[in-house]
Amino acid sequence: MPNRTISALLALLLILSQTHLFVMLATLEPNILALQFAFTPDAFNWVLLQWGDAGMQTFRDHLPFDFVHVCLYAVCGYWWASRLPLFAGLQAWLARFALWALPAAAVLDAAENVLELYLIGQPAGCRDAMLVALAASCASLKWLLIGAFALLSLWRFRLSLRR
């Protein structure tokens, strides 16, 4: 199969996976980002209080699908950066960044998921501040890497249109 076909299939799978997660988590109020960026036990507890038992179960139920999604976007990022002409000709450091940005984000995402799952299982007054901050830091770095990869991709796409 040509690289373009595989890349398009990966993109389609990624879009379907992201859509599925979005639908699964659509009932959470506040949304999942509030938990991801909760840097203190008080903020973390507030989100869980708003969600209630049903919201926490929704969060738990989405995790198996999220772990698949994490693996999928790691593979997509590595595949695209190593095989698409869009990323050809980058300076060495930028090429390495493009290659490893989404796999690194996936590792951070998995760590965040494990930490949040552990923290949700702890009584409200016993959630370790360091672990809450670590989970939020993992989420923040994950989103930073994903955003940087997206910006790099858009920049390269824009340059390719000029040729």
Query: At residue 157, does pLDDT exceed 80?
Result: yes
Instruction: Check whether 163 has a pLDDT greater than 80.
Output: no
Q: What percent of the chain has pLDDT over 90?
A: 88
Higher per-residue pLDDT: 154 or 3: 154
For 112-163, give the DSSP string.
HHHHHHHHHTS-GGG--HHHHHHHHHHHHHHHHHHHHHHHHHHHHHHHHHH-
Q: Write the CB contacts of 137 (distance below 8 Å, at least 6 apart in sequence).
A: 39
Terminal-to-terminal C-alpha distance of the chain: 26
pLDDT tens digits along 79-137: 999 998 889 999 999 999 999 999 999 999 999 999 999 999 999 889 999 999 999 99
Give dist(CA 76, CA 97) in Å, integer.
Answer: 14
